[in-house]
Amino acid sequence: MIAYVNGRKVQLREQDLRRNLLEFLREGLDLTGSKNGCGIGACGACTVLVNHRPVRACRKKVKDIVDTNVLTIEGMAEDGKLHPLQQAFIDYGAIQCGFCTPGMVLAAHAFLLLHREPSREDIRRALAGNLCRCTGYQQIIDAVQDAAKHYLE
């Protein structure tokens, strides 16, 4: 059994299948960008993309990713260069403490793949399931709206 994590083929062992996806990513693959914020899927800090769709890694089992493509925040950059959405979060000061940022970026990325010219309200609705205690969300909305132009190319 295999999955592709950040474009890399990962062999899944039988004992891995029962594991929590978040723990497997963090402890098994040393991909620590996704965070355990609440453990019940309510905060979005553990968001990863499975086949381009946002999922809460704390609520998924590894068996749920067999034969899928998983994208974590570590897989967003290419050739050592940040993805434009990641750069926009930095440019707009949307990172603050950084705990929620990976999940927020991935949720925004999944949204922008489908909605190339979103309104501010569209972005707010799309990210409503990702909680942030530091920024007040305005910088996040600004960053996502600015980064949307890169999805039109």
d(CA 110, CA 64) in angstroms, rounded, equals: 19
Going along the chain from its start, the domains and CATH numbers come out as: 2-74 (3.10.20.30), 84-151 (1.10.150.120)
pLDDT(142) > 80: yes
Amino acid, single-letter form, for residue 150: H
* 16's tokens: 């891995």
Which residue is listed with tokens 């809460």?
56
| Structure confidence by residue, pLDDT tens digits, 88-138 | 999 999 998 889 999 999 999 999 999 989 999 999 999 999 999 887 799
Q: What pTM, to 2 d.p., does this model score?
A: 0.95
| Structure confidence by residue, pLDDT tens digits, 16-67 | 999 999 999 999 999 999 999 999 999 999 999 999 999 999 999 999 999 9
Amino acid, single-letter form, for residue 122: D
CB neighbours of 71 closer than 8 A, spacing ≥ 6?
6, 48, 49, 52, 106, 109
Mean predicted lDDT score pLDDT of the chain: 96
